[in-house]
């Protein structure tokens, strides 16, 4: 390897507040186009913005979770540009005095932990949406463009890293970690595929050992964690080829084409001076008092990294702990079941196995199913008491997720309850041994070969509801008498 990749990531997160950043319009993504709009978010003359206090609280929360300093005074600026989905011709954003500066996020990739510096976290507002009609939904081949301003003015938080990321795998790990953190704070659903979390990656290469950065490109339009990693890997390889050919990398914005698996040039990269930033005259500087900041700090729940360390210390393997820690719903179910005395490893296997598979298959998040931590504890107790087999327990869990009732109800309704009553089982064993006296005699004489056959006969007689281990113990006991 001759080159070292240098990557910085800008992340936009749409906050899940009830109303928009500077007006009272509802944030409501399912609504019919242009039904959640008012003079403020349409930029009509004379309309005045009023900041959303909850959004400010949430950006401070994000900043504190990323270990940033929170500015007591920060300033909103106008970022000026023309685009049809931006009716004001400027976006209210922040420039040299953002709310949060100088944080960090730790990542572990292949057992190596690295700290990624956070340059800043600032508050801005989203634009409307352009929908290009006609061939492929792209503007070049479009027959027209439709505009929907429901998203115009939705609170948007931008999180900017230092150029500290050194590989495509680290870029993905950063995005994954950040997504888990945002979700655990409860401030956004952070869904890449729906655009409530969006990543732009600035990528350059430099010769190994060279302190100066090379010319960067900015990659946009990655709508999954996987495509972020693929786009970064593609771009690193593309720039290496350009440099190897003795050519120069062009400072530009490139678009990730998911279908072709490549980045394409979109436009030459704009600099911040192109936007003619100036302080927003309609808003006073934003004040976050130390008291407010500390109240917000006290409301921050356990974060994924702390949760992961706690789960590993509690005996889970790193993969299961990472998966549970990144998802507040799964982690909540796990903690609840463990507190109720359930076998934590068993519960972790169900959550990362059956439950995640159910979410993928149906698209329904576990939070929207009837499954509770109490159900998990109940099911774990049933397995421990041999009331249901481990295999049957998985079917029971699926049925509970699908709303068929509690584990006990499902097991009874589906006839999955095992015969654990020893006296009933002893009768079955005695009957089978009597019917196969020759096999019983062999076992009594020390030949254990027929045991498997006899267990099979008992299982058949009980329609599979006996615990085969217990049956085998009883056969040994009875033949030894
Ligand atoms: Zn509005």
Q: How far is the CA of 26 from the centre of ligand 1 (A)?
A: 8
As beta bridge partners, residue 264 has: 255
Q: How far is the CA of 188 from the centre of ligand 1 (A)?
A: 20
Check pLDDT > 70 for residue 149: yes
Q: How far is the CA of 467 from the centre of ligand 1 (A)?
A: 64
Q: How is the chain split among helix, strand and coil, in percent rounded to 5? A: 40, 25, 35
Check pLDDT > 80 for residue 324: yes
Q: What's the whole-number mean pLDDT along residues 260-279?
A: 84
Spatial separation of the C-alpha atoms in residues 419 and 422, rounded to whole Å: 8
Summarised one tens digit per residue, pLDDT across range 152-193 is 999 999 999 999 999 999 999 999 999 989 998 999 999 998
Q: How far is the CA of 124 from the centre of ligand 1 (A)?
A: 15
- In this structure, how many other beta carbons lie within 10 angstroms of the beta carbon of residue 448? 12
- In this structure, how many other beta carbons lie within 10 angstroms of the beta carbon of residue 268? 9
Rg (CA), the chain: 30
Spell out the residues 6+ positions from residue 61 whose beta carbon is closer than 8 angstroms to its own: 185, 187, 296, 299, 300
Q: How far is the CA of 20 from the centre of ligand 1 (A)?
A: 7
Q: How far is the CA of 93 from the centre of ligand 1 (A)?
A: 17
Listed in sequence order, the DSSP H helices in 13-128 are: 53-65
Q: What's the whole-number mean pLDDT along residues 271-278?
A: 84
Q: What's the whole-number mean pLDDT along residues 472-479?
A: 86
Q: How confident is residue 424, by pLDDT bands cut at 50, 70 and 90?
A: confident
pLDDT at position 136 is 66
Q: Any idea which of 126-130, 237-241, 474-478 has the lowest mean pLDDT?
A: 474-478
Record the pTM: 0.79
pLDDT at position 379 is 95
At 299, list the tokens. Answer: 């409301």
Q: What's the whole-number mean pLDDT along residues 271-295?
A: 92
User: CA nearest 298: which of 61, 51, 19, 25?
Assistant: 61
Q: How far is the CA of 36 from the centre of ligand 1 (A)?
A: 7
Check pLDDT > 80 for residue 420: no
Strands (E), 170-324: 197-207, 217-222, 252-257, 262-268, 278-279, 286-287
Upper half-sphere CA count for residue 215 (Cβ side, 13 Å): 13
Percent pLDDT > 70 in the chain is 98
Q: Which residue has the higher pLDDT, 75 or 133?
A: 75
Question: What average pLDDT does the chain have?
Answer: 92
Summarised one tens digit per residue, pLDDT across range 390-407 is 888 999 999 999 999 999
Q: Which residue has the higher pLDDT, 268 or 409?
A: 409
Check pLDDT > 90 for residue 370: yes
Check pLDDT > 80 for residue 267: no
Q: How far is the CA of 258 from the centre of ligand 1 (A)?
A: 34
pLDDT at position 137 is 64
Q: What's the whole-number mean pLDDT along residues 203-207?
A: 96
Q: How far is the CA of 293 from the centre of ligand 1 (A)?
A: 28
Q: How far is the CA of 16 from the centre of ligand 1 (A)?
A: 15
pLDDT at position 400 is 96
Which secondary structure element, helix H or strand E, spans residue 102, and what is its range? Answer: strand 100-109
Q: How far is the CA of 154 from the centre of ligand 1 (A)?
A: 9
What is the separation of C-alpha 229 from the centre of its chain, rounded to a whole number of angstroms? 15
């Amino acid at each position: 390897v001759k080159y070292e990749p240098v990557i910085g990531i800008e992340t936009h997160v749409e906050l899940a507040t009830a109303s928009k950043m500077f007006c009272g319009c509802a944030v409501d993504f399912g609504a019919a186009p242009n039904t959640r709009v008012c003079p403020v978010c349409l930029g009509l003359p004379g309309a005045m913005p009023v900041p959303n206090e909850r959004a400010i609280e949430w950006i401070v929360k994000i900043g504190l979770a990323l270990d940033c300093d929170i500015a007591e005074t920060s300033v909103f600026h106008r970022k000026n540009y023309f685009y049809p989905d931006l009716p004001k011709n400027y976006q209210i954003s922040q420039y040299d005095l953002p709310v949060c500066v100088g944080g960090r996020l730790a990542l572990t990739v292949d057992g190596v932990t690295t700290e990624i510096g956070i340059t800043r976290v600032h508050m801005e507002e989203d634009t409307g949406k352009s929908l290009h009609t006609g061939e492929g939904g792209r503007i070049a081949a479009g027959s027209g463009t439709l505009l929907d301003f429901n998203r115009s003015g939705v609170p948007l938080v931008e999180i900017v890293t230092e150029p500290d990321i050194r590989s495509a795998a680290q870029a993905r790990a950063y995005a994954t970690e950040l997504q888990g953190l945002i979700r655990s704070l409860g401030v956004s659903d952070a869904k890449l595929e729906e655009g409530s979390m969006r990543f732009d990656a600035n990528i350059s290469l430099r010769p190994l050992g060279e302190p100066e950065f090379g010319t960067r490109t900015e990659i946009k339009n990655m709508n999954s964690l996987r495509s972020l990693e693929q786009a970064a890997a593609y771009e690193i390889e593309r720039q290496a080829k350009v440099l190897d050919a003795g050519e120069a990398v062009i400072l530009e914005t490139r678009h990730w084409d998911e279908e072709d698996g490549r980045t394409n040039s979109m436009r030459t990269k704009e600099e911040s001076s192109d936007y003619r930033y100036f302080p927003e005259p309609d808003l006073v500087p934003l004040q976050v008092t130390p008291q407010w900041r500390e109240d917000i700090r006290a409301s921050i729940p356990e974060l994924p990294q702390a949760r992961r360390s706690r789960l590993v210390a509690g005996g889970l393997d790193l993969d299961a702990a990472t998966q549970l820690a990144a998802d507040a719903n799964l982690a909540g179910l796990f903690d609840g079941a463990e507190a109720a005395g359930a076998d934590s490893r068993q519960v972790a296997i169900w959550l990362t196995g059956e439950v995640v598979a159910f979410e993928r298959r149906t698209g329904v998040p576990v939070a929207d199913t009837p499954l509770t931590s109490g159900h998990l504890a109940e099911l774990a107790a049933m397995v421990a008491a041999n009331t249901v087999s481990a295999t049957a327990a998985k079917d029971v869990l699926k049925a509970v997720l699908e709303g068929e009732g509690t584990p006990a109800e499902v097991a009874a309704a589906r006839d999955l309850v095992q015969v654990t009553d020893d006296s009933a089982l002893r009768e079955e064993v005695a009957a089978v041994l009597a019917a196969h006296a020759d096999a019983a005699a062999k076992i009594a004489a020390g030949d254990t070969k027929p045991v498997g056959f006899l267990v099979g006969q008992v299982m058949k007689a009980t329609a599979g509801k006996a615990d085969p281990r217990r049956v085998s113990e009883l056969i040994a006991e009875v033949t030894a008498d």
